[in-house]
Amino acid sequence: MSVEQAAVQRADFDQVMVPNYAPAAFIPVRGAGSRVWDQSGRELIDFAGGIAVNVLGHAHPALVGALTEQANKLWHVSNVFTNEPALRLAHKLVNATFAERAFFCNSGAEANEAAFKLARRVAFDRFGSEKYEIIAALNSFHGRTLFTVNVGGQSKYSDGFGPKITGITHVPYNDLAALKAAISDKTCAVVLEPIQGEGGVLPAEQAYLQGARDLCDAHDALLVFDEVQTGMGRSGHLFAYMHYGVVPDILTSAKSLGGGFPIAAMLTTEALAKHLVVGTHGTTYGGNPLACAVAEAVIDVVNTPEVLGGVKTKHHKFKARLEQIGEKYGLFTQVRGLGLLIGCVLNDAWKGKAKDIFNAAEQEGLMILQAGPDVIRFAPSLVVEDADIDEGLDRFERAAAKLTQA
């Protein structure tokens, strides 16, 4: 019997997979728009978006069409060559942003790895070997490679893997005084998420990001924005830096960039990009024609006034209803975030119980997310229909009612 014909169930995960995940008890098998069906045919509404990935929902016709067309042309050639989809996508990203150069890879961690390596290489070339220190924020998240997990400000992810990478300092998020005290002429980069995603859907303050920009300029350091979670329209702008009007030197994107197809990008200026000469960095699959063709379709759909304006409208719809639910059932004290990256901050009585709310929502046919143990996170499709928002939040309210009445 072939693998394609073999019947598999959730129990198979525990038999054949490395146990670094704890997936839900059901297996999704099909999606359309903001709806998902599992093996039993049960329908769920998806407000999780594959952790802010499925920016256009499931099986969007523009993405299916782009992938199908490219699948019949060219799958892979490696970076010994270039390819047309990669060049078209790079042009569109450059034309739409501050950037002048793009580097493609496969995941947010790889994009951040490239960004951090570029920052250290630029500093090395310009100022010498002593300028290599990186400042990041506590509770930040930048990926799971050894470098990126050390830059991320959560020791629970970086402990237990041998000696830490040196030259990395963490300061409290949104604390400009702490950043000013930490930065020096040995600092090569300050790395920030415009909205901390895994750290609790916590937006940066305007003065904080502008102050970080000014401090970097004063100390010949580069400002790196990790927009893996906030990029590709999720904030209501193509990238969140546009909301703040603070321009980084390097920006990373992944997750929504491919709408579900694995792809990531590091964007930067020509002056900085030239420090990564031939042989200094690379990736086998980066710039893959399939991935780039899909990402090109994503940006064509997302980077329009209709979709970006719709994100802001849908944000207000979500926020108003969530605030009503929070007040009625006493689950959370604050609804925060930008666009369709929304966090509900649990109150003292429910702190540490985000997983319980996640499970209750699933029982009502709703897929949501956590952002740590104290925040419920919503990251739906940017084109989620109003009817699905209403129905999904009805299901969320039913889950809240059952939890608080138990």
The answer to whether 152 and 140 are in contact (CB under 8 A) is: yes
Residue 296, annotated as binding a ligand: no
Residue 304, annotated as binding a ligand: no
Q: What is the Cα–Cα distance from 151 to 188, expressed in whole angstroms?
A: 13
What single-letter amino acid sits at 209?
L
Residue 141, annotated as binding a ligand: yes
Question: Can you point out the beta strands (E) in 150-300?
Answer: 168-171, 187-192, 195-196, 202-203, 222-226, 250-253, 264-268
Angle between helices 354-363 and 386-405 (to 10 degrees): 120
Q: What is the Cα–Cα distance from 230 to 152, expressed in whole angstroms?
A: 16
Render 123-181 in DSSP notation, one character per residue: HHHHH-TT--EEEEEBT----SSHHHHHHSB-HHHHTTSSSPPSSEEEE-TT-HHHHHH
Residue 148, annotated as binding a ligand: no
Per-residue exposure over 138-174, b if at least 16 CB sit within 10 Å of its own CB, e if not: bbbbbbeeebbbbbbbbeebbeeeeeeeebbbbbebb
Residue 252, annotated as binding a ligand: no
Residue 109, annotated as binding a ligand: yes
Residue 377, annotated as binding a ligand: no
Greatest alpha-carbon span in the chain: 65
Structure tokens that stand for 405 in this block:
């009445």
> Which residues have CB under 8 Å from 166's CB, separation 6+?
none
Q: Which among 272, 274, 233, 220 is positioned nearest to 250, based on CA atoms?
A: 272
Report the helix count and the strand count for the chain, using DSSP H and E: 15, 17
Residue 108, annotated as binding a ligand: yes
Residue 169, annotated as binding a ligand: no
In the beta sheet, which residues pair with residue 171?
A: 137
Question: Can you point out the beta strands (E) in 47-138?
Answer: 101-105, 133-137
Residue 348, annotated as binding a ligand: no
Q: Which among 58, 184, 176, 209 is positioned nearest to 130, based on CA atoms?
A: 184
Feature table: binding site for pyridoxal 5'-phosphate? 108-109, 141, 226-229, 284
Feature table: binding site? 108-109, 141, 144, 226-229, 283-284
Feature table: binding site for N(2)-acetyl-L-ornithine? 144, 283
